[in-house]
């Protein structure tokens, strides 16, 4: 099983917390799509025997693409790769791009899952984040998506902004339940260095986030989602039965993936590659017939640490048997020993040779993983 990620580095406006690779001018869009198709045509990374089970258009804002852009990219992928008939083909969309016309174009192109960047249903919060859509559009797009016939879709929500009270957080999540949204991804607002938000906080023009409030809102969320019957299958992701994201699940289980477009990452099982995060350099290199990337070959220790990090974030947890089979008995024994220490402090449970984080432990997931890492 393998997946494909397509990075579309254009956005309507810059959300103040965002540190992804994007630009707000569409000036180079046509050249970039041509370069991206060229990258698909000339890549040698996969050996040609892989069946592609998932395709994901991320960004940036792929919902800014025209029908022809999406069709041409998919056509190039189908020519180059063996794509399963049952493949999950997902596209990230922002509420201001969703309308009945676009939805039927996406369905006709073969998109069968949408991931919608809603972030909040509260107008003041959306303005605070400098999102390009309104709260009314956040609400309306869910009905339009369902009416168009998309049964498989997800929405992103952000918690922990200084404006978000626990009551408003409950209201946001209640809308998910009222509208029977099949999947949600929820992230704590993170103040990344060099973002507009970081600058505004330094200049005292915006309030900073409060880690205690973020922890409280995460604990509340886990409880609400569980009570509503959602499967909390990864630390930031919740799905109704059968509605997990195949694409993200394959990342977390270490499957191969190829990323096309500026800043896109690829992984072939041992080697990680990342394309240049600069649209002009990306276009010029592809026009000259080269793919501008850097790469590193992961050592066995790096692969083990990655497995520790990603598996601890999943509901299935870290499998000691997998560690023993993939890396050796001594690593499994050491992890089990450390795991028992955390089990004593109620941060994880040890069950059927798996280490599984408790709700409390999920607040410390990164720190616990780092403690289990090998050098
Ligand atoms: S729409 Fe998404 S990618 Fe674009 S600036 Fe906002 S958060 Fe970043």
Q: Are residues 310 and 244 in the same domain?
A: no
Q: Is the CB of 339 under 6 A from ligand 1?
A: no
Is 332 found in the same domain as 240? no
Cα separation, 239 vs 116, in Å, equals 15
Q: Identify whether 90 is preceded by a cis peptide bond (ω within 30 of 0).
A: no
Q: Per the structure, how many domains does the chain have?
A: 2
Question: Does 367 map to a domain?
Answer: yes
- Give the pLDDT confidence of 250-293 residue by residue, as tens digits: 988 888 999 999 999 999 888 999 999 999 999 999 999 999 99
137 and 36 together in one domain:
yes
Last residue of a domain, one of 226, 251, 276: 251
Same-domain pairing of 126 and 242:
yes
Domain for residue 256, yes or no? Answer: no
- Please tell me the pTM assigned to this model: 0.96
> Is residue 258 domain-resident?
no
Mean pLDDT of the chain: 96
Distance CA 252, CA 193 (A): 26
**pLDDT recorded at residue 61:** 98
Give the closest residue to 117 by CA, choosing from 20, 199, 211.
20
pLDDT tens-digit series, residues 293-311: 999 999 999 999 999 999 9
Determine the distance separating the centroid of ligand 1 and the alpha carbon of 91, expressed in angstroms. Answer: 14
pLDDT interval class at 245 (50, 70, 90): very high
Cβ(15) – ligand 1 distance below 6 Å: yes
Q: What is the pLDDT of residues 15-32, one digit of tens each?
A: 999 999 999 999 999 999
**pLDDT of the residue at 46:** 64
Q: Is 291 domain-assigned? A: no
- The CATH number of whichever domain residue 310 belongs to comes to 1.10.10.10
- How far does residue 179's CA lie from ligand 1's centre (Å)? 24
Helices 67-80 & 29-42, crossing angle to 10 degrees? 10
How many whole angstroms separate alpha carbon 94 and alpha carbon 126? 13
Same domain, 26 and 124: yes
Q: Which of 212, 228, 251 is the last residue of a domain?
A: 251
Cβ of 14 closer than 6 Å to ligand 1, yes or no, is yes
Q: What is the pLDDT of residue 41?
A: 95
* CA–CA separation, 57 and 62 (whole Å): 6
> 3-class DSSP state for residue 125?
helix
Q: In the predicted model, is pLDDT for residue 344 greater than 80? A: yes
CA 88: distance to chain centroid? 15
> The tokens 């190829």 sit on which residue?
258
Average pLDDT over residues 44-62: 88
Verify whether ligand 1 is closer than 6 Å to residue 117 (CB atom). yes
Mean of pLDDT values over 177-189: 98
Strands 183-188 and 237-239: antiparallel
Please compute the mean of the pLDDT values over residues 169-182 and round it to a whole number: 98
- Do 134 and 120 form a contact (C-beta atoms < 8 A)? no
Cα distance between residue 29 and residue 65, in whole Å: 9
Structural domain contains residue 298: no
Is the same domain home to 116 and 231?
Answer: yes
Which of 218, 235, 251 lies at the terminal end of a domain, its last residue? 251
CB burial of 167-182 (b: ≥16 within 10 Å; e: otherwise) equals ebbeebbebbeeeebb
Q: Is the pLDDT of residue 39 over 90?
A: yes
* Domain annotation covers residue 274: no
Q: What is the 3-state secondary structure (H, E, C) of 189-233?
A: CCCCCCCHHHHHHHCCCCCCCCHHHHHHHHHHHHHHHHHCCCEEE
3-state percent helix, strand, coil for the chain, nearest multiple of 5: 45, 25, 35
Residue 187 has pLDDT above 90, yes or no: yes
Q: Give the integer Cα–Cα distance in Å for 351 and 258.
A: 34
Residue 294 lies in a domain: no
Atom number, ligand 1, closest to the C-alpha of residue 19: 8
Residue 72's Cβ-count burial label (10 Å; 0-12, 13-18, 19+) is: middle
* Ligand 1 midpoint to CA 38 (Å): 25
Domain that holds residue 125: 2-251
In a domain, 70, yes or no: yes
DSSP 313: T
Band of residue 48 on the pLDDT scale cut at 50, 70, 90 = low
> The CATH number of the domain where 152 resides is what?
3.20.20.70
What single-letter DSSP state applies at residue 138?
H
Above 70 in pLDDT, residue 6? Answer: yes
The arithmetic mean of pLDDT across residues 201-215, rounded, is 97
Which among 114, 125, 131, 40 has a CA at the least distance from the CA of 79?
Answer: 40
Task: Examine the domain organization and report whether 103 and 240 are in the same domain.
Answer: yes
Please give the structure tokens belonging to residue 133: 């859509």
For residue 98, pLDDT beyond 90? yes
Residue 68 C-alpha to ligand 1 middle, in angstroms? 22
**Residue 196 Cβ contacting ligand 1 at under 6 Å:** no
């Amino acid at each position: 099983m393998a997946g494909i990620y397509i990075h579309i580095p254009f956005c309507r406006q810059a959300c103040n917390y965002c540190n992804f690779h994007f630009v707000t001018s569409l000036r180079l869009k046509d050249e970039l799509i041509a370069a991206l198709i060229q990258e698909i045509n000339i890549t040698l990374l996969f050996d040609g025997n892989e069946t592609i089970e998932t395709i994901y258009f991320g960004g940036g804002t792929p919902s800014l693409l025209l029908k022809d852009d999406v069709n041409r990219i998919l056509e190039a992928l189908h020519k180059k790769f063996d794509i399963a008939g049952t493949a999950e083909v997902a596209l990230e969309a922002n509420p201001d791009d969703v309308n009945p016309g676009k939805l039927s174009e996406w369905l006709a192109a073969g998109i069968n899952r949408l991931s919608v960047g809603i972030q909040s249903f509260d107008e003041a919060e959306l303005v605070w984040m400098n999102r390009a859509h309104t709260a009314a559009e956040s609400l309306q797009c869910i009905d339009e998506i369902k009416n168009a016939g998309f049964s498989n879709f997800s929405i992103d929500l952000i918690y922990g902004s200084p404006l978000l009270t626990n009551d408003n957080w409950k209201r946001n999540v209640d809308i998910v339940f009222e509208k029977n949204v099949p999947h949600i991804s929820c992230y704590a607002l993170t103040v990344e260095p060099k973002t507009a938000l970081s600058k505004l906080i330094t200049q005292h023009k915006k309030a900073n986030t409060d880690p205690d409030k973020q922890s409280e809102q995460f604990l509340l969320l886990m409880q609400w989602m569980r009570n509503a019957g959602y499967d909390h299958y990864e630390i930031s992701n919740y799905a109704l039965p059968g509605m997990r994201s195949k694409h993200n699940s394959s990342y977390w289980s270490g499957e191969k993936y190829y990323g096309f477009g500026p800043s896109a990452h690829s992984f072939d099982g041992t080697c990680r590659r990342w394309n240049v995060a600069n649209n002009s350099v990306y276009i010029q290199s592809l026009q000259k017939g080269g793919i501008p990337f850097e790469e590193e070959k992961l050592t066995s220790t790096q692969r083990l640490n990655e497995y520790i990090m990603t598996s601890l974030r999943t509901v299935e947890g870290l499998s000691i048997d997998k560690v023993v089979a993939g890396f050796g008995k001594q690593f499994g024994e050491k992890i089990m020993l450390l795991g028992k220490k955390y089990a004593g402090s109620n941060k994880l449970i040890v069950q059927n040779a798996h280490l599984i984080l408790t709700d409390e432990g999920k607040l410390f997931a990164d720190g616990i993983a780092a403690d289990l890492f090998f050098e």
